[in-house]
């Protein structure tokens, strides 16, 4: 099967460098478009810390995440042949947000790295991705 739109789901870790390189090489060899997605998972905050810090805590965490994302985005764009327009950073339910990006990019192959410890999620995310018609799933640990 010839893939046209490959979606790579990763954590923002430099340990994913080899995975990104291999995925971009695969896309190049197939003449496919490659897109990248990272989803900040829903985070269960400590209710006691929220009671004390409230909005200040949430804003602080959001600001840290945004700075980290910007740094990683700049690194990926400079190091790999993935255009900025093809990088999606989302917040919320990992499965739901990834399904949305799959539709946006019309992905026919998704490569799952160790996205939010997908290997340790007992295959939940992998099963969710396999339910998408016309989408092949490649799980890389």
- Which range of residues forms the domain containing residue 28? 3-41+79-137
Q: Is residue 95 part of a domain?
A: yes
Name the 3-class secondary structure at 37.
strand
For position 108, which CATH number holds?
3.40.50.620
Q: Is residue 62 part of a domain?
A: no
Q: Is residue 10 part of a domain?
A: yes
pLDDT score at 1 = 63
In the chain, how many domains are there?
1
pLDDT score at 94 = 81
Neighbours of 114 (CB within 10 A): 19
Q: Is residue 27 part of a domain?
A: yes
Q: Is residue 51 part of a domain?
A: no
Q: How would you class 97 by CB atoms within 10 Å of its CB: exposed for 0-12, middle for 13-18, buried for 19 or more? A: buried
Q: Is residue 50 part of a domain?
A: no
Written as tens digits, the pLDDT of the chain (141 aa) is 689 999 998 876 656 788 899 999 999 999 999 999 988 766 554 555 555 556 666 677 777 777 777 787 788 888 889 988 999 988 877 888 889 999 999 999 999 876 545 444 545 666 666 666 678 988 887
Q: Is residue 126 part of a domain?
A: yes
């Amino acid at each position: 099967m010839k893939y046209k739109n490959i979606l790579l789901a990763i954590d923002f870790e430099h340990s994913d460098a080899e995975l990104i390189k291999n995925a971009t090489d695969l896309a190049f060899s197939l003449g496919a478009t490659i897109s990248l997605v990272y989803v900040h998972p829903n985070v269960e905050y400590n209710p006691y810390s929220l009671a004390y810090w409230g909005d200040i805590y949430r804003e602080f965490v959001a600001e840290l995440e945004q700075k980290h994302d910007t740094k990683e985005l700049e690194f990926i764009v400079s190091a790999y042949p993935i255009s900025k327009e093809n990088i999606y950073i989302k917040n919320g339910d990992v499965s739901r947000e990834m399904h949305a990006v799959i539709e946006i990019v019309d992905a026919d192959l998704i490569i799952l790295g160790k996205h939010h410890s997908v290997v340790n999620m007992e295959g939940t995310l992998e099963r969710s991705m396999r339910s998408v018609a016309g989408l092949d799933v490649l799980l890389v640990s």
